[in-house]
Chains A and B, each alone.
Chain A
Amino acid sequence: MSIFINNDTKLVVQGITGRDGSFHTKQAIEYGTKVVAGVTPGKGGQTFEGQVPIFNTVYDAVAATGANTSVIYVPPMGAADAIMEAVDAGVQTVVCITEGVPVLDMTKVYPFVKERGVRLVGPNCPGVISPGQAKVGIIPGRICIPGPVGVVSRSGTLTYEVVYQLTRAGIGQTTCVGIGGDPINGTNFIDCLEAFEKDPATKAVAMMGEIGGTDEQEAAKFVKERMTKPVVGFIAGQTAPPGRRMGHAGAIISGSAGTAAEKIEAFKAAGIAVAVRPMDFVEHIKAGLK
């Protein structure tokens, strides 16, 4: 089992002929993901790599192929429209990889998506992978193996680092979700924790947070009150200076709020084992799985 994506995922790629879109679509196909359609306005009727039909609109793609999941690689100024197009076309899960989406655009997109009951992951995220089943986004397939750990993170490469260390230690994953580094994103830690708690195959969860906002504190509260499975947590940005945006638009300490220390305290208070270094996940997860 897994969360959000699985063997039944039928993927449509928005921006399939762009630089990132085409590169990662090839990788997704190689991984065994069912990529059923691509969308690039004006290129409808063509095929991608001789096998994936391209459509002008997501609506056409869904009507013709029954796609149930979309991944978005369009430029930032078009991302909000692309998300809403996918939702309107009837897909159930939308993963937006695009970085640099204006936050005010997301204030319109977020309620639009929620009111229609669609799962949006991102924007500004590496996507989702359920090892051995499907890969939606840019998480490298070869660093993952199937297994019992659910992974959720605000970061991209830091997620790879932790997953890679788990895999090297022989610990596989049910699903790895990168929720993205933006201040407003479609899926938060709690959404993922709730899904992992319900997923019978997931036996433990690795959670990587960072400075900025209060999502990790909310997640800690949820773990304490609602989770029966062990959770291991990590917070990046202990050495970050206040008031500066650390690459991710959401990674900024405002006043005394959003510091790493505050989040680590919240984890500890909720009984979450804290990984001080990324490599510490291995031992804590092993202990949790016993």
Chain B
Amino acid sequence: MNIHEYQAKEILRGFGVPIPAGKVATTPAEAEAIAKEFGVAVMVKAQVHAGGRGKAGGVKFCKTPAEAKEKATAILGMQIKGLTVEKVLVTVAADIGSEAYVGIIVDRARKKPVFMVSAAGGIDIEQVAAQTPEKILYLPVDTRYGLRGYEAMRMGFFLYSDVKLAKQAAKIMQQLYRAFMASGCSLAEINPLVATPAGELIAVDGKMVIDDNELDRHAEIEALRDVSSEAPSEVDARNCNLTFIKLDGNVGCVVNGAGLAMATMDLVKYYGGEPANFLDIGGSSNPEKVVNALRIITADPNVKCILFNIFGGITRTDDVANGIVTATKANPLQVPIVIRLTGTNEEIAVKILTENGFTASADMDEAVIKAVELAKGGKAA
């Protein structure tokens, strides 16, 4: 789960990381009032779940409250990578001496969180990694022991030759690491970490991505979720315990299991169609899930055909069949449906479907070919 910059900074501040004063505004007048309250030059920053906000014009320096109002007017409502900006962070502008990058990411290959630090901060770290890898120090952390003092110091001295700055940086590494672990992050970064001409370190931008699997034990972080930044159908699906990702095609897919769901989308494409979505109804057998899945998929006007691909292991195919019958009785379908199911209780499922006027196939390829054809407006073979 992504959280906004202002939310990440709030968490980091709680762990002691030095963060410039800032407040969130949803209107230009609010932005002006906040700038007036701070009484110094401010940055007005778009709060959306997208990188490259600066390049898109979503981050502006403002000398006066009037300018803050003007920039906020331009930024609020702006589209950045398809997302509408609904909030801005108004924050005290830092006096910049130098900029560093500090980040932690869970590295799959090392199977550990890895610190990445670089004195070449303020810019895209992937670019630094690609062009000048020697400017980055990678430091894997054994989470059983935590970040050790000497490891934090090593990173501090990698960034700064000045002892005072290096020690400050080491302290910030510890604070960032504690915030990362305590919040269940898969990524946390400070970019840039600014050294002011007065010799103080300050985190000018902060970012955190939370492992979705941690949310059950972090209600306080789940509460930070901004549903306005997600597709409404995806929010709806999550509330029904379905994994759903909207795509641009017209074959609506309902599948059990993530791997089979991806393979089904790929096969739709292979046979000349375009999948409208990724949807995994998961392993448990519950007719209610099928009802919800159909409701979410049929809400997409692009969908011209619905394809079920169910391989019953834990999932009982008769539960899926009952779900299809229940859902379509309540809301008759406006588009054709192709059902492939095999596995646990297949005979019962086929009987239920046949009695209710549906046909079912046991073959995946056959079903996908038929669905693609129907989505194109053709007749089923």
**Cβ-defined contact, A156 with B257, below 8 A:** yes
- In the complex, what's the smallest C-beta–C-beta distance from A204 to chain B, in angstroms? 21
When distances are taken between beta carbons in the complex, the residues of chain A under 8 Å from B283 are 99, 138, 156
**Cβ-defined contact, B111 with A106, below 8 A:** yes
**Cβ-defined contact, B313 with A278, below 8 A:** no
A184 at the interface (CB under 8 A from B): yes
**Cβ-defined contact, B143 with A156, below 8 A:** no
Main secondary structure of the interface of B (DSSP, over half): mixed
**Cβ-defined contact, A240 with B265, below 8 A:** yes
Known A-B contacts A104-B211, A160-B311; the reply to A240 vs B259 at CB < 8 A is no
Per-position 1/0 for B180-221, Cβ under 8 A of A: 010011100000000000000000000000011110110000
Distance between Cα atoms of A106 and B364 in the complex (Å): 35
Distance between Cα atoms of A211 and B258 in the complex (Å): 11
**Cβ-defined contact, A277 with B211, below 8 A:** no
Stretch at the interface among A30-38, A47-55, A248-256: A248-256
Distance between Cα atoms of A275 and B306 in the complex (Å): 26
**Cβ-defined contact, B278 with A104, below 8 A:** no
**Cβ-defined contact, B258 with A251, below 8 A:** yes
A1 at the interface (CB under 8 A from B): no
A169 at the interface (CB under 8 A from B): no
B365 at the interface (CB under 8 A from A): yes
Contact of B213 among A102, A156, A214, A244 (CB under 8 A): A102
B126 at the interface (CB under 8 A from A): yes
Distance between Cα atoms of A17 and B214 in the complex (Å): 25
**Cβ-defined contact, B343 with A102, below 8 A:** no
A20 at the interface (CB under 8 A from B): yes
Contact of A239 among B108, B213, B266, B343 (CB under 8 A): B266
When distances are taken between beta carbons in the complex, the residues of chain B under 8 Å from A43 are none
Distance between Cα atoms of A269 and B61 in the complex (Å): 51
Distance between Cα atoms of A144 and B124 in the complex (Å): 49
Known A-B contacts A140-B313, A239-B269, A255-B126; the reply to A247 vs B278 at CB < 8 A is yes
**Cβ-defined contact, B142 with A153, below 8 A:** no
A29 at the interface (CB under 8 A from B): no
Distance between Cα atoms of A239 and B248 in the complex (Å): 11
Known A-B contacts A104-B143, A107-B111, A255-B126; the reply to A77 vs B217 at CB < 8 A is yes
Known A-B contacts A161-B311, A246-B245; the reply to A107 vs B113 at CB < 8 A is yes
- In the complex, what's the smallest C-beta–C-beta distance from A195 to chain B, in angstroms? 20
When distances are taken between beta carbons in the complex, the residues of chain A under 8 Å from B111 are 106-107, 110-111, 184
Distance between Cα atoms of A76 and B215 in the complex (Å): 11
Per-position 1/0 for A214-254, Cβ under 8 A of B: 11000000000000000000101111110011111111000
Distance between Cα atoms of A21 and B374 in the complex (Å): 41
Interface centre among A111, A247, A279 (most CB of B within 10 A): A247
Per-position 1/0 for B255-268, Cβ under 8 A of A: 11111111101111
B302 at the interface (CB under 8 A from A): no
Known A-B contacts A247-B243, A255-B126, A277-B365; the reply to A210 vs B184 at CB < 8 A is no
- In the complex, what's the smallest C-beta–C-beta distance from A236 to chain B, in angstroms? 4
Per-position 1/0 for A105-141, Cβ under 8 A of B: 0111011100000000000001000000000001110
**Cβ-defined contact, A140 with B344, below 8 A:** yes
**Cβ-defined contact, A107 with B212, below 8 A:** no
Contact of B109 among A112, A126, A214 (CB under 8 A): A214
Known A-B contacts A111-B144, A250-B108; the reply to A138 vs B275 at CB < 8 A is no
When distances are taken between beta carbons in the complex, the residues of chain B under 8 Å from A249 are 211-213
A213 at the interface (CB under 8 A from B): yes
Task: Give the B interface residue count (CB, 8 A).
Answer: 51
Contact of A108 among B143, B213, B261, B365 (CB under 8 A): B143
When distances are taken between beta carbons in the complex, the residues of chain A under 8 Å from B266 are 236-239, 260
When distances are taken between beta carbons in the complex, the residues of chain A under 8 Å from B108 are 183-184, 213-215, 250
**Cβ-defined contact, B313 with A239, below 8 A:** no
**Cβ-defined contact, B260 with A158, below 8 A:** yes
Interface centre among A77, A138, A184, A250 (most CB of B within 10 A): A184
Distance between Cα atoms of A154 and B258 in the complex (Å): 10
Closest partner residue, chain A, to B126 (CB atom)? A255
Distance between Cα atoms of A252 and B68 in the complex (Å): 38
Distance between Cα atoms of A156 and B259 in the complex (Å): 7
**Cβ-defined contact, B144 with A108, below 8 A:** yes
**Cβ-defined contact, B311 with A164, below 8 A:** yes
A94 at the interface (CB under 8 A from B): no
B32 at the interface (CB under 8 A from A): no
A259 at the interface (CB under 8 A from B): no
**Cβ-defined contact, A100 with B109, below 8 A:** no
**Cβ-defined contact, A160 with B144, below 8 A:** no
A266 at the interface (CB under 8 A from B): no
A157 at the interface (CB under 8 A from B): yes
Contact of A251 among B260, B262, B268 (CB under 8 A): B262
The 4 residue pairs across chains A and B that have the minimum distance between CB atoms: A155-B259, A247-B258, A157-B257, A158-B259
Binding site for B on A (CB under 8 A): 20, 23-24, 76-77, 99-104, 106-108, 110-112, 126, 138-140, 143, 153-161, 164, 181, 183-184, 208, 210-211, 213-215, 234, 236-241, 244-251, 255, 260, 276-279
- 16 CB contacts below 8 A, A to B, read A76-B213, A107-B112, A111-B144, A156-B257, A156-B259, A156-B283, A161-B260, A161-B263, A164-B311, A214-B108, A215-B108, A236-B263, A241-B245, A246-B262, A249-B211, A279-B365
Given contacts A239-B266, A255-B126, 18 further A-B contacts (CB under 8 A): A76-B216, A77-B217, A101-B213, A104-B181, A104-B184, A154-B259, A156-B313, A157-B259, A160-B343, A181-B258, A183-B106, A184-B111, A210-B259, A236-B260, A246-B258, A247-B278, A249-B211, A251-B262
Binding site for A on B (CB under 8 A): 106, 108-109, 111-113, 126, 142-144, 181, 184-186, 211-214, 216-217, 243, 245, 247, 255-263, 265-270, 275, 278, 280, 283, 311-314, 342-344, 364-365
